Chain A
């Protein structure tokens, strides 16, 4: 059974700080996705990584897929209060397996 372990589960930081969220598995994934979800809304797709070692940037967010395609990370530079939300990694073909999520709070 494929599992995705996400860490940390909770993160509270001050505006301007940097942070990294990790998504790890013992299984190889053909791709991994990162989503952001705000309270009372559905998840919004941020990025899909497919190639081992791939790095993608979305403004202040940097996503990396591990060389072995078993892990991924999300790095946010100079976090803003608007970055607050639940970040979810997910992987799989067809059906998605989700990590436990990281609840990020950025305080002004």
Chain B
């Protein structure tokens, strides 16, 4: 498996500001990380696939200019929510792909935009 951390665990920001969320793979060299969004009582929705050293691949309907992803090293991927609005409030979770089949998830980041 892999141990994954996220920082911060929760953040409150004002509408119009930007917020950066970090995802770290603590014990696995992660060439691929994934970013998900989850609304209360719902399943996970994949936002993008983050590839080390290259551009992220975004899912249909996810604005790449709004959700900036950087994967500059094998242990760190970041998600920046730019010009945040209240509708961006959600639970954001990252994961590390350790094989073709398995992913290990971070503890998540609760974002609240006021």
| Distance between Cα atoms of A89 and B100 in the complex (Å) | 16
Determine which of A30, A40, A98 lies in contact with B101 in the assembled complex, contact meaning CB atoms within 8 Å: A30
Whether A88 touches B100, Cβ cut-off 8 Å, given contacts A40-B108, A45-B1, is no
Residues facing B in A35-68 (CB within 8 A) are: 35, 40-45, 48, 50
Do most interface residues of chain B lie in helix, strand or loop, or is the interface mixed?
strand
Number of A-B residue pairs with CB-CB distance less than 8 Å in the complex they form: 56
Q: Give the number of residues in B that approach A within 8 Å (Cβ atoms).
A: 26
Whether A48 touches B100, Cβ cut-off 8 Å, given contacts A88-B43, A98-B43, is no
Q: Give the number of residues in A that approach B within 8 Å (Cβ atoms).
A: 22
Contact A31 B41 (CB under 8 A): no
| Distance between Cα atoms of A44 and B4 in the complex (Å) | 11
Whether A93 touches B101, Cβ cut-off 8 Å, given contacts A42-B93, A42-B108, is yes
Is B49 engaged at the interface, CB distance under 8 Å to the other chain? yes
Whether A43 touches B44, Cβ cut-off 8 Å, given contacts A95-B34, A95-B49, is yes
Q: How far is the CB of A4 from chain B (nearest CB, A)?
A: 9
Residue in B closest to A35 when the chains form the complex, CB atoms: B105
Query: What are the residues of chain A within 8 A of B91 when measuring CB–CB?
Result: 40
Q: Which residues of A contact B (CB under 8 A)?
A: 30-31, 33, 35, 40-45, 48, 50, 88, 93-96, 98-101, 103
